Amino acid sequence: MTNFAFLEAEWPSVYEAATKASNAVYPDPRTACFYARRALELAVQWVYKYDYSLLLPYQENLSALVHEPTFKKVAGEAVFNKARVITTLGNQAVHSNSPIKEYDSLTVVSELFHISYWMARTYARQEKPELGLVFDPEELPRTTVPKQTIDQLQTLETSLREKDEKLSELLADKSALDEELKRLRAEVAKAKEAASSQPDTHDYSEAQTRDYFIDLLLKEAGWELNQAQDREFEVSGMPNGSGVGFVDYVLWGNDGRPLGLVEAKRTKRDPRVGQEQAKLYADCLENQFGQRPVIFYSKRLRTLDMGR
């Protein structure tokens, strides 16, 4: 039994890739991220093929498919953000020499589990995944295998993509869809409608995904985040009972003074509350270090000038 056993009956190719990702989490994190992205690609392509409510974007690469508004609407914010994490780390695994650590591979496989659960819950025509199903890291094998190089993964990526269906060709003329595909689409639509009538009580760990994605973007931009002071930095002078606050992220210059702070945007909080909180944190840091940091929010991290 594996974390992805519920995929095997209806999505064997996704199951195979997810299993390979799971098996590589500890011995080869880079390969685990590669196969997690591969599993996501196969899952997203399946959804586009069989869910007629989705519109193909101008490109067929994974990022374009995930960001297409109709996919985002069907998947929801939690699944969309998890797909972004897997896509980003999967791309890094194949196209960057940046180190991929066990924590990264464990995270992407966990995120893949949640996406797989969503897909099975939404589209399964046979047995749905059990309610209360959770990802169990203890089921991941701790084996030793030779690690694959970036060159090997790039060659594998090219080979696999040559075998993939071309969605634009398959779905270009909806009136010409073969009868079997039409029948399966009707079955999938029926399963989707039935799933939508029941509340989704699965815990998608949205806060954990958000925080990890912020880490990922900052590291991608050159911030190591390897010091205790980089996260949850304590400041004094806050207008509360204890006078103490904790800054989500502080970005430090080489002189030891704060260049910027990042306040993570909590989904269920009024953004004005977060803005005021960040301003107060900046005041405290300025009083302590004599330099006012630039304020950034998680939703616009990519605009941050990372020069130190």
Count up the domains in the chain and report the number: 2
Is 48 exposed, middle or buried (CB count within 10 Å of its CB: 0-12, 13-18, 19+)? buried
pLDDT at position 29, please? 96
Indicate whether 184 and 47 sit together in one domain: yes
Indicate whether 228 and 271 sit together in one domain: yes
- Is 243 within a domain? yes
- Is 166 within a domain? yes
Q: What single string gives the DSSP state of each residue in 148-175?
A: PPHHHHHHHHHHHHHHS--HHHHSS-GG
pLDDT in tens, 211-236: 888 888 888 888 888 899 999 999 99
Q: In sequence order, what are the beta bridge partners of 61?
A: none
Residue 116 CA to residue 6 CA, distance in Å, equals: 9
pLDDT at position 307, please? 44
Indicate whether 87 and 197 sit together in one domain: yes
Indicate whether 159 and 260 sit together in one domain: no
Indicate whether 170 and 74 sit together in one domain: yes
Residue 264 lies in domain: 221-303
Q: Digits of tens for pLDDT over the chain (308 positions)?
A: 689 999 999 999 999 999 999 999 999 999 999 999 999 999 999 999 999 999 989 888 999 999 999 999 999 999 999 999 999 999 999 998 888 999 999 999 999 999 999 999 999 999 999 989 999 999 999 988 889 999 999 999 999 888 887 777 766 665 667 788 888 999 999 999 999 999 999 999 988 898 888 888 888 888 888 899 999 999 999 999 899 999 999 999 999 999 999 987 665 555 666 788 899 999 999 999 999 999 987 654 444 444 44
The pTM of this model reads 0.84
Indicate whether 109 and 72 sit together in one domain: yes
- Is 215 within a domain? no
Indicate whether 195 and 268 sit together in one domain: no
Q: Which two tokens stand for residue 262?
A: 């990042």
- Is 159 within a domain? yes
pLDDT at position 308, please? 46
Residue whose token pair is 């005021």? 276
Per-chain mean pLDDT for the chain: 89
Residue 120 CA to residue 5 CA, distance in Å, equals: 11
CA quadruple 86, 93, 42, 70: dihedral positive or negative? positive
Indicate whether 95 and 150 sit together in one domain: yes
Indicate whether 161 and 41 sit together in one domain: yes
